[in-house]
Each structure stands twice: as C-alpha cells, then as structure tokens.
C-alpha cells in the first residue's frame, strides 16, 4: 500500500514532490527510492521527519503502528494522510485525535472508496434525494486470496473487521447519511480454522441498525478465491442505487478457475483511480490550506463500529456502538 501511494505521488500527482520514503527495512526503503528515482530513504519515520522541505506525510504502516505514527507526525507539525484503521482501540483513536488537535495539523483518513467515481456519484444522487429516504444498506467485500498464515502471527494488523469491513462501515455512515447505532456480527473460520488462534476469522456478516431506523447488512470474506468482489446497494423509499457489476438477464459462474465474465482480482486494480484521486485531494488540501474531506472523526466513528462488531463476535450477541467525542480539528 505504501509503495502504491509513493508511486502515485511520484508519477501521477503533478503538484506533489515525493522527497523521501521510509521503511523499517532500510534496504527495502533504499530500493524503493532508487526505483522511484528519488534521493532520500530512511529506516524510520523519525529520521524521515528530519528531511528538509517536508510538508506532509502518508502513513501506510501495518495497522498496529498507525496511532503511534500519527502522534509522531503531529508532534513534528506535519499534515498527514493515515491509512485505515485509524487505530485498533477507541482509546488509542481518541488520544491520537486529541494530539492532532493540539498540534494544529490536518489529518486525512484513507477511505479511498469515497473517491471512486461510482461511489461518489451514488453519494451525490442520494444527497439530492433521488431515492428518497435511505432504508437498507447492503455491501459485499470479498478479497481473492487470504493472507498467508505468517501474516497473522506478528499481530501487526487488526482482525477482518478492521482490515476489510471498516471500509464498508465508513460507506454505511457516508451513504446512508446516518450513524450506526447497533451491530450484530456472525463469523466463521470453517475454511481456515487455524485463524481462530490469532483471534481472526475468514468471513463475517454484520447486521446494522442506524439511528434513524434504517437497517443494513455487510458481508466480508478474506479468501473468495475467484476474484476481488466489491458491491454495494442502498435501498430508499423511492428507489435503489446499485454500485458494482450487474448484467441484465445473465448468469455469472465463479470458480477457482476464473469467471465466465471479466472480473477484477485485486483492490489496487479496482480502485486504482480512487487512490490517485484520494492523493490528489490530500495534496490540494495541504497546498490550499483547507480542511480534509475525510476526517479523523470519520476514521474514529468507523473504528467505533468495527470495535462493536468485534465485541459482538466475541460475545455472540448484539453490541451497541459507542458514541465518540472528538476535539475540534482544523
């Protein structure tokens, strides 16, 4: 993810100048700098923050390190874009937002689907009242290949709800124009029982209740085999909006060998333009001294839904979403 952001900044965002990259593996950072044709590479975030002429930072470390990285960048007085999730606990998320507010810097959260043309068009039409009052939110997020078992052992990332479903939690708030009040999660490790020892799941279904009475359902799957599959539907009192593939009067068959219809196989393919648009917006925000469109508050509220979903998974019962208090930010 960090490599893709660096490539976009270097080659596809005209008003940005990529001045350095950092990785805990110094050799990896050095190779990336060479391939991107830039001078500076660093073995730590702290070292990179000493780079002359640095105005803003993109944080794309493993999930576990997001909160600490945000605080470090804020303390250095730099604006930043942080990949999701903002943190792995609500306490850590709230603390880092307080740090950002006190430092007087800007924080944008990496919910890139908001920048996808189809999702942004759907948002505009919902806001215009074209489907009436939103009543039902349905979303599917399926990755093609599950991470290897070694990826779970260091506990560097959150469980499925933090790494995958949090995108859908954010979309639910954004597209329904409402807050999630309660969730009920159902999970399974049936095809990868070994994940249970790491507190993770291979698939999950989360039912939602919204503040104003709407309901929803989100399915997440980390190993769908056949391809990368993201679809969303918002049903309103006057109509419905479908985001994703749908062919009139046709059947699509999906197996390990592929599909009878062309399909994407990775999120970087499906959302390539969204990642570029997201980075362009981040750079414009910094250059024009504007507030971020996707805020730390958005990140914290999506995190609150993920935390409630994990609690529901662990307790096998519905869980209320904790209200979050956010300090004023730029």
- For residue range 253-276, what is the model confidence (pLDDT) as tens digits? 444 565 545 556 677 777 888 999
- The reported pTM is 0.87
Is 271 within the bounds of a domain?
A: no
Is 329 within the bounds of a domain?
A: no
Question: For 221-240, what is the mean pLDDT?
Answer: 91
Q: Which two tokens stand for residue 138?
A: 């349905």
* 61 and 143 inside one domain: no
Return phi, psi of residue 296, to 5°.
-60, -35
Question: For 197-215, what is the mean pLDDT?
Answer: 97
CATH of the domain at 46: 3.40.50.720
Is 185 within the bounds of a domain?
A: yes
pLDDT for res 151: 87
CA distances from 218 to 15, 84, 278 (A): 37, 18, 24
Total tally of structural domains belonging to the chain: 2
Is 328 within the bounds of a domain?
A: no
Is 325 within the bounds of a domain?
A: no
Question: What pLDDT digit, counting tens, does each position of 96-138 carry?
Answer: 999 999 999 999 999 999 999 999 999 999 999 999 999 999 9
**Separation between Cα atoms, residue 170 and residue 270, nearest integer Å:** 18
Is 326 within the bounds of a domain?
A: no
Question: For 216-238, what is the mean pLDDT?
Answer: 92
Which H/E stretch holds residue 300?
Answer: helix 296-315
* 251 and 125 inside one domain: yes
Is 229 within the bounds of a domain?
A: yes
Q: Which two tokens stand for residue 280?
A: 């362009």
Residue 120: which domain range?
Answer: 114-266+300-320
* 19 and 119 inside one domain: no
* 63 and 124 inside one domain: no
Question: For 185-205, what is the mean pLDDT?
Answer: 96
pLDDT for res 267: 72
* 108 and 119 inside one domain: no
* 144 and 75 inside one domain: no
* 310 and 173 inside one domain: yes
pLDDT for res 251: 39
CATH of the domain at 312: 3.30.360.10
* 102 and 172 inside one domain: no
* 160 and 12 inside one domain: no
pLDDT for res 327: 57
Across-strand partners of 184?
A: 207
Is 89 within the bounds of a domain?
A: yes
* 187 and 248 inside one domain: yes
- pLDDT greater than 70 at residue 28: yes
The answer to whether the beta carbons of residues 205 and 219 sit under 8 Å apart is yes
* 190 and 290 inside one domain: no
* 75 and 123 inside one domain: no
Q: Which two tokens stand for residue 143?
A: 């990755």
pLDDT for res 252: 44
Whose CA is closest to 33, among 78, 11, 3?
A: 3
Residue environment code for 6-45, b if the CB has 16+ CB neighbours within 10 A, otherwise e: bbbbbeebeebebebbbbeeeeebbebbeebebebbbbeb
């Amino acid at each position: 993810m960090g490599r893709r952001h660096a490539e976009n900044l270097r080659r596809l965002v005209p008003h940005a100048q990529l001045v350095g990259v950092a990785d805990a593996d110094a050799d990896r950072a050095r190779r990336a700098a060479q391939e991107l044709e830039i001078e500076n590479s660093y073995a730590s975030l702290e070292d990179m923050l000493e780079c002359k002429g640095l105005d803003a930072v993109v944080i794309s470390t493993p999930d576990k390190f997001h909160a600490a990285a945000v605080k470090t960048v804020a303390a250095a007085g730099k604006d930043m874009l942080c990949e999701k999730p903002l943190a792995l606990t609500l306490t850590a998320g709230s603390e880092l937002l307080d740090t950002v507010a006190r430092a007087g810097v800007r924080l944008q959260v990496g919910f890139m689907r908001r920048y996808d043309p189809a999702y942004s068009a759907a948002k505009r039409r919902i806001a215009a009242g074209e489907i009436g009052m939103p009543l039902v939110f349905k979303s599917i997020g399926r990755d093609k290949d599950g991470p290897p078992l070694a990826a779970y052992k260091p506990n560097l990332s959150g469980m499925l709800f933090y790494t995958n479903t949090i995108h859908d939690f954010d979309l639910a708030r954004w597209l329904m124009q409402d807050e999630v009040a309660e969730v009920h999660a159902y999970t399974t490790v049936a095809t990868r029982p070994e994940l249970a020892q790491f507190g993770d799941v291979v698939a999950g279904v989360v039912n939602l209740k919204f503040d104003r009475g709407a309901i929803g359902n989100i399915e997440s799957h980390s190993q769908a085999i056949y391809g990368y599959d993201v679809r969303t539907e918002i049903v309103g009192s006057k109509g419905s909006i479908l985001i994703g593939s749908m062919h009139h009067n046709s059947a699509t068959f999906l197996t390990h060998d592929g599909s009878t219809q062309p399909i994407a196989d990775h999120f970087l393919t499906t959302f390539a333009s969204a990642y570029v648009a997201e980075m362009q917006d981040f750079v414009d925000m910094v250059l024009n001294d504007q507030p971020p469109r996707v805020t730390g508050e958005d990140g914290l509220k999506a995190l609150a839904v993920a935390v409630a979903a994990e609690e529901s998974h662990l307790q096998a019962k519905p869980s209320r979403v904790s209200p979050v208090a956010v300090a004023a930010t730029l």
